[in-house]
Amino acid sequence: MRITGVDVYKSNIPLTEPFRIATMEVTSAESVFIRVNTDEGLYGLGEANPSRVVTGETQAMNLAAAPDLARMLVGRDPLDVETRLGELDGFLARNSALKSAFDMALYDVLGKASGLPLYAFFGGGNRSFWTDITISLADPGGMALKAVELKRRGFRAMKVKLGTSRDEDRARIAEIRRAIGDDVPIRIDANQGWSRQTAVAVLGSLEPMGIEYCEQPVPHWDHEGMRLVRRLTSIPIMADESLLDHHDAFTLAWRACCDYFNIKLSKSGGLHTALKINAIAEGAGIPCMMGCRIETRLGLSAAAHLVSARPNIQFADLDGHFMLAEDPIVGGATYDVGEIRLPETPGHGADIDPSFLERCERVTVT
């Protein structure tokens, strides 16, 4: 089997409402879709949703670099994923969101060629699981109203964005907890927004409020700060922006910086490295969560296969598509409120509506 060409699509999907975290505000999902075509009629699809503040990428950067990476694949064997991804890494450093799209597409071809859904290809079973649902940063009253609505819809866990000041963030959680009661787990995410001192103060004030864990309380580079915060609070700490690849995973585990890892395909460069991160986590006794950006169900489907295949991934934050004004994906993972189920179709099982692709700008490399 040989790769005959690669299609690169520019996709802009508006959000139903602005999404705000401590470091930025987003109003649309600016993604890049990759389609890898082969001489046997099989094709694979992947999605990149870059983040300028996490991976240092923008959609424009991805679109500029994608043809160069595509040219490296044409004429090559798509089933030799290890070699193909090594070639891409050797040509272009970092750019993990873009590489995740190529990784996803190659694994999609590999799954289709083997006749296996990716969870089975990875040696796992098909298990349904629940995602949490994210509440964007806003005033305490508005966030509490949103939490009540999401609880009414049937979501089982809330992920609440924080990362401003001690008093504001404590007020947000206090309002939400009063509004939804004590029976719904609350997970919080500071997105690097606190200093060490603020993190310790905020988490100390939130300890009585039933917080399941806190993501990335301090800047990504401050490993010692994360270790210190972890030691001074009873709330478990999860690494997110500080965890991009397996090298980061080793360092975080060795330095005892956190209780959990948040794996995202857009940060790791795709499934290939995500598997390595989880293996290191298992060896260190660190449970994982599979997270996401504001992706369509294509990217979320690929991530969901990894959750299904690896029991060490105990939490899921795969809710990005709920924010989109349009769902252009056919097949793939399905959602019953927040319960995710995977199809039995080979590969990741997700495709893109041809009518949607016709509206997207496209570059083809042959």
Domain ranges of the chain: 3-115+354-365, 120-351
For residue 365, what are the β-bridge partners?
A: 6
Distance set, CA 266 to CA 189, 229, 233, 313 (Å): 18, 26, 29, 17
Start-to-end CA distance of the chain, whole Å, equals 15
What are the pLDDT tens digits along the chain (366 aa)?
Answer: 999 999 999 999 999 999 999 989 999 999 999 999 999 999 999 999 999 999 999 999 999 999 999 999 999 999 999 999 999 999 999 999 999 999 999 999 999 999 999 999 999 999 999 999 999 999 999 999 999 999 999 999 999 999 999 999 999 999 999 999 999 999 999 999 999 999 999 999 999 999 999 999 999 999 999 999 999 999 999 999 999 999 999 999 999 999 999 999 999 999 999 999 999 999 999 999 999 999 999 999 999 999 999 999 999 999 999 999 999 999 999 999 999 999 999 999 999 999 999 999 999 999
According to DSSP, residue 24 is labeled: -
Q: Starting at the earlier edge strand, list the strands of the sheet with 129-130.
A: 129-130, 339-341, 334-336
Q: Among the options 169, 175, 215, 319, which is catalytic?
A: 215
Domain 120-351 is classified in which CATH homologous superfamily? Enolase-like C-terminal domain (3.20.20.120)
Asked if 189 is an active-site residue, the reply is yes
SS3 304: helix
Q: Among the options 47, 108, 132, 240, which is catalytic?
A: 240
Asked if 240 is an active-site residue, the reply is yes
Asked if 267 is an active-site residue, the reply is no
pLDDT value of position 141: 97
45 neighbors 78 (Cβ within 8 angstroms)? no
Task: Please count the other Cβ atoms lying within 10 Å of the Cβ belonging to residue 103.
Answer: 28
pLDDT value of position 166: 95
d(CA 260, CA 252): 10
Query: What predicted TM-score, i.e. pTM, was given to this entire model?
Result: 0.97
* Helical (H) or strand (E) element with 297: helix 297-309
Residue 8 in tokens: 């690169």
Q: From the centroid of its chain, how far is CA 264?
A: 4
Asked if 161 is an active-site residue, the reply is yes
Q: Among the options 30, 57, 169, 189, which is catalytic?
A: 189
According to DSSP, residue 209 is labeled: G
At position 47, the amino acid (one-letter code) is E
Q: With the CA atoms of 16, 291, 349 and 63 taken in that order, what torsion angle do they form, in degrees rounded to the nearest 10?
A: 70
Asked if 336 is an active-site residue, the reply is no
Q: Among the options 146, 151, 161, 267, which is catalytic?
A: 161
347 neighbors 40 (Cβ within 8 angstroms)? no
pLDDT value of position 37: 98
Q: What is the CATH number of domain 3-115+354-365?
A: 3.30.390.10
Q: Among the options 146, 151, 159, 264, which is catalytic?
A: 264
